[in-house]
Structure 1
Amino acid sequence: MTGNIVARRYAKALFSLGLGQGGDAVAAYGRDLDALAVVLEKAPELLRVFANPIFVASEKMAVLGNVLADLSVSPMVKNFLGLLAEKERLSFLPDIAAYYRTLLDEAQGVVRGRLVTAVSLAEARQDQIKSKLEAQTGKKLVLDFAVDPDILGGVMLKVGDKVLDASLRAQLQILKEQIKRGD
């Protein structure tokens, strides 16, 4: 829980700095954090180094400097990462990046969702579904499509904090419960 609070606090601080800079700074900082989060996801041993209290802040910053050499990160984000190293908070980077993405989505009116079907959908059908959902929500939608044959048929849709389970598996489960109760 503490990690979540720390991540939110730092993400909000960087977001506020980006808003103060104006222009595309907020989105650019988000792209920088996302790029770094992808690197950390691919190399979890880096996160273990950042979380290890044996290494001092200067050693962690040196490791981070090597990682940043491959990425083109803005000077503000580099300074932000230096602050995280100094305060022993580099291990929170993935959480900070995730919450920053949430703040950016809210500011841009973007809602993220996931649509799961039993079979893969053609790209034209995916676009059609996405545009209908955007019309219903009135917001820009970033929809992730997935296939899960275990749902048997129908769809499972999660948009924001709302979930619609119209899968055949769910319908059969409801029917099973009704039979058990004797309805």
Structure 2
Amino acid sequence: MAETQTLARPYAEAVFELAESNGRLGEWSRALEALSAIVSNPDVALLLDNPEISDSRLVELVVEIGGDDMDEASWNFVRLLVDNGRLGLAPVIASLYEQRKAEAENRVDVSVTSAVEFSEEQRAALVKSLEKRLARNVSLTFEQDEDVIGGAIIRAGDLVIDGSLRAQLERMRQSLAQ
């Protein structure tokens, strides 16, 4: 994983710098998201390593599938990735780009996993608390997982706050075993 990120990072940085200088952060987000989805498709993945498909044909196919989400700049980017044998890195490049974009926008994407759905009041309180703690604007996504049992697991980039009942029980079990 670290090697993949190391290979993808220069591409993500270059696209971010280009997008930021042209005021096209949103357009590049959509293009990279589309490219990531295309490359992640199992049928397209088979084409990536097929020696019978020329590089130019592969670029054409990807851009054609991308449709309106692909403009000339993203077409050139696809060509660059294909020429360098890095098209398979598109999902990682998209992820790194989004992280860089969120950083530039002073925003953090936070994922909350809980056993039960949060009320609007709880969501608002959580956003307020996280914005204060992280000193950034917070964009929340919620996921329900009954295995959490109670409480919540909050992920914001590298930060993980595990306030789940399952984690508390595990900590208690470990302290009793000592």
SS in 2 for 1:67: helix
Q: Distance in 1 between matches of 2:50 and 2:110?
A: 35
AA aligned opposite 2:28: Y
Q: Distance in 2 between matches of 1:105 and 1:172?
A: 34
- Deviation of 1:136 after TM superposition, in Å, equals 2.5
What TM-score comes out, normalization by structure 1 length?
A: 0.84
Structure 1 residues 63, 96: closer, same or farther in 2, change over 3 A? same
SS in 2 for 1:71: helix
- After superposition, where does 1:151-166 map in structure 2 within 5 Å? 151-166=148-163
Structure 1 residues 155, 65: closer, same or farther in 2, change over 3 A? closer
Q: Report the aligned-residue RMSD.
A: 2.0
- Deviation of 1:139 after TM superposition, in Å, equals 0.4
**Aligned residue pair count:** 177
Name 2:19's counterpart in structure 1: 18
* Contact 1:51-1:91 within 8 A present in 2 as well: no
Structure 1 residues 118, 17: closer, same or farther in 2, change over 3 A? same
SS in 1 for 2:176: helix
Q: Distance in 1 between matches of 2:89 and 2:51?
A: 14
- Deviation of 1:172 after TM superposition, in Å, equals 1.6
Name 1:61's counterpart in structure 2: 59
Which sections of structure 2, spanning at least 5 residues, go unmatched?
none
Structure 1 residues 52, 106: closer, same or farther in 2, change over 3 A? farther
SS in 1 for 2:53: coil
Give the alignment partner of residue 94 of structure 1, picking from 91, 96, 102: 91
Name 1:44's counterpart in structure 2: 42
SS in 1 for 2:69: coil
Structure 1 residues 16, 51: closer, same or farther in 2, change over 3 A? farther
* Contact 1:112-1:142 within 8 A present in 2 as well: yes
Q: Distance in 1 between matches of 2:3 and 2:176?
A: 45
Query: Does 1:79 pair with 2:76?
Result: yes
AA aligned opposite 2:8: A
AA aligned opposite 2:170: Q
Q: Distance in 1 between matches of 2:3 and 2:162?
A: 33
Structure 1 residues 8, 52: closer, same or farther in 2, change over 3 A? farther
Flag the structure with larger Rg: 1
Name 1:117's counterpart in structure 2: 114
